[in-house]
Amino acid sequence: MSLLNDLTGAPPGMSGRALVLRLCAIGAVLAGAAGSFAYAGGWLSPGVLTPARVIDRFEEVNGPHPGFRRNHAKGLCVEGSFAASGAGARISRAGVFAAGRVTPVEGRVALAGGQPYAADATTTVRSLALRFRLPDGEEWRTGMNDIPVFPVRTPEAFAEQLLAAKPDPATGRPEPERLRAFYAAHPESAAAAALIRARTVTAGFADGTYRSLNAFRFVAADGRATPVRFAYLPEAPSAPARGAQETGTDRNVLFDDLAAALRREPVRWRLVVTIGRAGDPTDDATRPWPADRETVDAGTLTLTGAAPEAPGNCRDINFDPLVLPDGIAPSDDPLLSARSAAYSRSFTRRAGEAKSPSAVTGTPTHGAAL
């Protein structure tokens, strides 16, 4: 048998012409595979936004922080449970909403941005991410922010905004000209930014309201789909944010306050689901829904403890918003699939990198475990 026969797996009696044809066929398959990789990697379309380019943009703006999330880099793990009221079962057949069902929850509170060691700042967007483990192996993963609307409508606008808001190394602040140009090109973002600036910033993580911002579809037992947005509203009354002068020298004051609160007693939120009506935008997270929409109180989230990021805990969870149980489905919001793809790329990069400890331990002394 010739070497060519060995390489191509052609039978020993195959003619030269047949062999050449076979080689051409193999070449075509290899070229096709290489083309698919090049396409998926964005090499054939330099102008198109790919998940890798979104994550490159975070790295360009924030600098390299190996091992950390490319956004919401500074965080603390939390745990607790969700007790369904039963009212949500009318609009979603997801087991998590069945009356009397208590579902264990792991989560992560974080500050938006790609700086894992930045000092906590009052107005930085705060987030709450949750993973519900349902008894039959299903999961619901979700990430919410403490703002009324999202600043951009599309992934392309997200990438543009990251660059426009990049701090100028000379001043430490974004270049006003760049920001002005971004808002001129994206009036929907200018309107959203005004709503975000006007929000009441609360004292800490424990008394914040965390919103899905993206719309989803709840699917009932009879198959009926309902457009929804949802929010976790604090059980305790909210207090206004303390000024920087009152936060003292603890660089992790927001996280440490939540950890201290959880050491004293559980902290609770109500899951309030807002039902959209025809015409309410489900594909535009920059626009709020009218305030008079019907709401359903689906149950109570109780957080009972916090722990610093460590191997195997929330540090290693990808809170992909498209990991959904039967009974919750995506809407037509273009941010949802972009988030899923970007989080996956961020997760893959950080999973392959050496890890440094999180700045957040949950104690102002930065030493003891929780």
Residues in contact with ligand HEM by CB under 6 A are: 54, 69-72, 75, 108, 110, 127, 129, 143-145, 150, 155, 158, 213-214, 285, 318-319, 335, 338-339, 342-343, 346-347, 350
Instruction: Indicate the residue type of 293.
Output: R
Q: Give the phi and the psi of residue 77 in degrees, each rounded to 5.
A: -80, 145
* ∠ Cα 232 236 241 (to 5°): 90
Matching residue, tokens 């290899």: 30
Question: CB neighbours of 294 closer than 8 A, spacing ≥ 6?
Answer: 274, 275
Q: Would you say 89 or 259 has its CB closer to ligand HEM?
A: 259
**Shortest Å distance, C-beta 154 to ligand HEM:** 8
Q: Is 72 a catalytic residue?
A: yes
CA-based nearest residue to 225, from 80, 121, 326: 326
CA-based nearest residue to 303, from 17, 146, 44, 107: 107
Residue nearest to ligand HEM (CB): 143
Question: CB neighbours of 49 closer than 8 A, spacing ≥ 6?
Answer: 155, 156, 159
Q: Give the phi and the psi of residue 237 in degrees, each rounded to 5.
A: -65, 145
Q: Would you say 129 or 254 has its CB closer to ligand HEM?
A: 129
Q: Would you say 108 or 186 has its CB closer to ligand HEM?
A: 108
**Shortest Å distance, C-beta 339 to ligand HEM:** 5
**Shortest Å distance, C-beta 20 to ligand HEM:** 48
Quick one: 242 exposed, middle or buried, by C-beta within 10 A (0-12, 13-18, 19+)?
middle
What tokens were used for 159?
């990438």
59 C-beta neighbours (distance < 10 Å), count: 15
Measured CA to CA, the distance from residue 326 to residue 339 in angstroms comes to 20
Q: Would you say 73 or 296 has its CB closer to ligand HEM?
A: 73
**Shortest Å distance, C-beta 272 to ligand HEM:** 15
Q: Would you say 209 or 346 has its CB closer to ligand HEM?
A: 346
* ∠ Cα 301 303 307 (to 5°): 145
183 known member of a binding site: no
**Shortest Å distance, C-beta 315 to ligand HEM:** 9
Residue numbering of the annotated binding site for heme: 343
Catalytic residues: 72
Residue numbering of the annotated binding site: 343
